[in-house]
Structure 1
Amino acid sequence: MRNGVRKDMENAGAGIAAMRPGGLRRWLPAGAGRAIATLTLLSGATALGAVMVFLTQTLLARIMGPAQYGLFASSLATVTMIAPLAGFGLTQFRLKIYGAEGWHANRWLPASLRFTALTTSLALLSLAGWALLGAPPDDTRFMLLVLSPVVISILMVDLISNKLRLEERYGEMALWQMAIPASRLAVAVALLLVPHLSGRFVALCYCAIAVLVASATVPQVRAMMQGRLDLKGHGPRPARIVHADPPPGVGALWSQAWAFGVYAALYPVFYQISTILLKYLAGDAHAGRYSVALAVMTAIYLIPATIYQKYLLGKLHRWAVHDRPKFWRVYRQGNAGMLGLGLAIGAALAIAAPWVVPLVFGEQYRSVADILQVLALCVPIRFLSTAMGAALLTENHMRFRVYAIAVSTVFTVGMNAALIPRLAESGAAWATVIGEAALLLGTAWGVRRFRRLERARDEAR
């Protein structure tokens, strides 16, 4: 009896040991435990960031009302739409070039610095030009000019996140990417104590946040621009890096980065244009209600963005060059997983919206539930197109993704212009669904062309 008890205890102890990290490693593929831990960390940080953004949007929307909030939100959307011009795809290009060249990619740093300065200047000049010459001479002009430092803060956080992603320091990357949402939420909570809150005051607060966050990133960004990074996936840093060719110039960088830049510039137009056109074609209140719906969708879209942009992107660039079977295996598994997850979340959104929206945002935003029930159709479409588009982020095939976003942006702008005068927010929502479907079809076409070219190349060898 005593021996039987001892045997049972030994078996139980072995089971507990298997549940520990060391024991679990025997049952998981190599590296799977670390991947799961990293994805859990990034997903948790993304969820927390999404909650912060959502709470900020909710507080401001409830306090300011649809008209004031619509004016502020459409101005912020305009700034956000122009922000990707600063850097113009340099972040994605850097992931690609470090994935392919490893430590030798440091040769691109001088050109990157000049390219960043040039494109940032053009972005700020474009924003100022629109504010002074195209925007109405009211609070819109004031907000656009005051919010211009947001362009710098977005660029700087993007650059530091790029460095930390290459170093696989995902925890620090998550903290930096939560800096702006956390600061804005703190301001929104503090503004609850401010009577008769105005859009101008909120814009000034956002300006201060942008300046502080951008200033805090300077040491890390300077280190990256000087080549001081702990690159992962390419072995230890060589004692001396010898470049066979002279350092490339801005022209050479542009020839390789333009597709990433065009996509980065077109995507905010594709995603934000409905809010901006609602402001000019229907009014600030309509733009405010649609902005609330878009805030919900933005939080949902962070799920595939976390998996592909924050975690898998750097690895996909590396696998595309050094491990093609793994690249396509991850692609197929990602498509199936993202479609299933998107269908589940889209259905939940459509069912819950009529009850949740009035409770969270108030009765003045009840009509937002109808918008969200239409936009719920976008969730599985977006999740699948994000997964499929991962195949077009590598090598020289980004141009197919640019074609897809360009065509879908034209569809979205055209449908918004046609439907908003008749249906207001509902028209903008249906235009967005049509645009997302066009993006998915264009992405599928691009992947098909990509695979065909790849097979032809393999057969020619």
Structure 2
Amino acid sequence: MTVPVSAAAWRRAAITVSMLSVATALGALMVFLTQALLAREMGPEAYGLFASSLATVTMIAPLAGFGLTQFHLKAYGVEGWDAHRWLKPSLDFISITTLIAIIAVVAWALIGAPNDGTRFSLLVLTPVILSVLAVNLVSNKHRLENRFGRMALNQMVIPASRLLVAVGLLLVPRLTDRFVALSYGAISLLVALASIPQMRDLFGGKVALQGYGPRTPASRAAVPGVGAVWSEAWAYGVYAALYPVFFQISTILLKYLSGDAQAGIYAIALAVMTAIYLIPATIYQKFLQGKLHRWAAHDKPKFQHVYRKGNIAMFALGLAIAAAMLVIDPWAVPLIFGEKYDRVTAILMVLAICVPIRFLSTSMGSALLTEDNMRFRVYAMALATLAAIAGNVILIPLYRELGAAWATVIAETVLLLGTFYGVRRFTRIQHVDADNGRG
């Protein structure tokens, strides 16, 4: 059954997606320019040290909040205004998980990291944890309020600020490499502090929900505790914690298995892929995610219609972008990054295989973000993360950066296959439950 959608609804959706796409493109461009400037000015070794340190902190950052923002979207999609009851225990949950994340970074910096500048970078980059959490929470508030323009602006603050740091390094040659790490840490701290008023409104229940019906009286349902928040959020948290490991582990292992220079070269290729992967992230995480939770709970035909069309469209778009990479990268990479990074081209030729795979796994995975099926997506990501770690450990000593690239292709393929299996498994469970209900 196809659900009719009014022309006005299509126009609103198209305008919103276009606006988010433009904002995402600007953000991606700023990230790309920042990486290019830093790479050229710092050189492969210094840039590799900084990039691997930032990747380490970014990998640990999702522990703060541990899936809470994703759970909030589910809670509001199912409960509407009654989901305000989760806010107070969520604040306690955030305090605990954020402290754990900060302790993890500081402990690794002081105990496990080499004292070659890595320790300093890790310590001064620790506020990145706070900024990631703050941006996610404030973006969630804007998403629930359908204020996508504000959400886009909120998410562009950090890329714009970091670009200014890269320009500063270009204009003032006497600035040291430590200036970059210190600046990134300061930006993150300022962003977190500036987000406090919005976060205070969020946890105070001052959220102007849009698309959830008229405001209802306060729910008489019992206010859950921190343990209840954990039981609801853990699957989202595990997925959020696994993804940075899955995506960033190549850069970190290259540092420790091959060297800072190799890590810096691979980090450039990964920056390009990050910009490309913002496309499906914009559509599914910034625009559709809250709606998918609501449709899965209250309008299953629309949910299924969007899911089917999305798979076809995203795979076709991924193929087109991969083809463009094969044509553009061989002349664009040396022009932008310089001859010191000529090996980036070969890495991107391999990673282009990942684009249609990632686009399809993102759209397919949208069926596993709703109701109680998130565990299937966690299983797929856990298996893919293990494949990424094993592939890198085996292939980096043999082929260095290209080994890391092929390990990434293997991991992305495992993620797609695992997601496909999870969707099929969940669909079969739904059919069995429906048959039992009719019986």
CA distance in 1, matches of 2:132, 2:6: 38
Question: Equivalent residues in 2 for 1:50-199 (5 A)?
Answer: 50-199=28-177
> Are 1:288 and 2:277 an aligned pair?
no
Deviation (angstroms), 1:208: 1.1
1:385–1:440 CA contact under 8 A, matched in 2: yes
Question: Equivalent residues in 2 for 1:219-238 (5 A)?
Answer: 219-238=197-216
1:63–1:197 CA contact under 8 A, matched in 2: no
Question: Equivalent residues in 2 for 1:269-418 (5 A)?
Answer: 269-418=245-394
Deviation per CA, 1:36-89: give whole Å up to 9, x if none.
Answer: 000000000000000000000000000000000000000000000000000000
Q: Which amino acid aligns with 2:123?
A: L
Deviation (angstroms), 1:194: 2.0
> Are 1:217 and 2:234 an aligned pair?
no
Deviation per CA, 1:143-184: give whole Å up to 9, x if none.
Answer: 000000010011000000000000010000000000100110
Deviation (angstroms), 1:198: 2.9
Q: Which amino acid aligns with 1:115?
A: F
Aligned to 2:19: 41
CA distance in 1, matches of 2:172, 2:258: 29
Match of 2:7 among 22, 29, 51: 29
Between structure 1 and structure 2, the one with the greater Rg is 1
Q: Which amino acid aligns with 1:34?
A: R
Per the alignment, in what secondary structure is the counterpart of residue 195 of structure 2? Answer: helix
Per the alignment, in what secondary structure is the counterpart of residue 237 of structure 1? Answer: coil
2:59–2:245 CA contact under 8 A, matched in 1: yes
CA distance in 1, matches of 2:23, 2:79: 30
> Are 1:203 and 2:167 an aligned pair?
no
Deviation per CA, 1:231-266: give whole Å up to 9, x if none.
Answer: 11111212x31323x210011111111000000000
Match of 2:218 among 228, 235, 241: 241
2:68–2:90 CA contact under 8 A, matched in 1: yes
2:266–2:401 CA contact under 8 A, matched in 1: yes
Deviation (angstroms), 1:133: 0.6
Q: Which amino acid aligns with 2:203?
A: M
> Where does the alignment leave 5 or more consecutive residues of structure 1 unmatched?
1-26
2:85–2:219 CA contact under 8 A, matched in 1: no
Deviation (angstroms), 1:314: 0.2
Aligned to 1:4: none
Moved beyond 4 Å, runs of 4+: none
Q: Which amino acid aligns with 1:88?
A: F
CA distance in 2, matches of 1:243, 1:428: 53
Per the alignment, in what secondary structure is the counterpart of residue 424 of structure 1? Answer: helix
Per the alignment, in what secondary structure is the counterpart of residue 88 of structure 1? Answer: coil
TM-score with structure 2 setting the length: 0.97
Deviation (angstroms), 1:350: 1.7
Deviation per CA, 1:411-452: give whole Å up to 9, x if none.
Answer: 110010000011000000000000000000000000001111
2:134–2:199 CA contact under 8 A, matched in 1: yes
Q: Which amino acid aligns with 1:336?
A: I
Aligned to 1:447: 423
Question: What is the alpha-carbon root mean square deviation over aligned residues?
Answer: 1.0
CA distance in 2, matches of 1:199, 1:308: 36
Per the alignment, in what secondary structure is the counterpart of residue 208 of structure 2? Answer: coil
Deviation (angstroms), 1:459: 1.5
Aligned to 1:15: none
CA distance in 2, matches of 1:29, 1:444: 32
Name whichever of 428-437 and 345-354 sits farther off: 345-354
CA distance in 2, matches of 1:60, 1:190: 10
1:90–1:260 CA contact under 8 A, matched in 2: yes
Aligned to 2:231: 255
**Structure 1 residues 54 and 283, CA gap change in structure 2 (3 angstroms):** same
TM-score with structure 1 setting the length: 0.93
> Where does the alignment leave 5 or more consecutive residues of structure 2 unmatched?
none
Aligned residues: 433
1:61–1:69 CA contact under 8 A, matched in 2: yes
Deviation (angstroms), 1:29: 3.1
Deviation (angstroms), 1:353: 1.1
Q: Which amino acid aligns with 2:66?
A: F
CA distance in 2, matches of 1:394, 1:206: 35
CA distance in 1, matches of 2:323, 2:410: 18
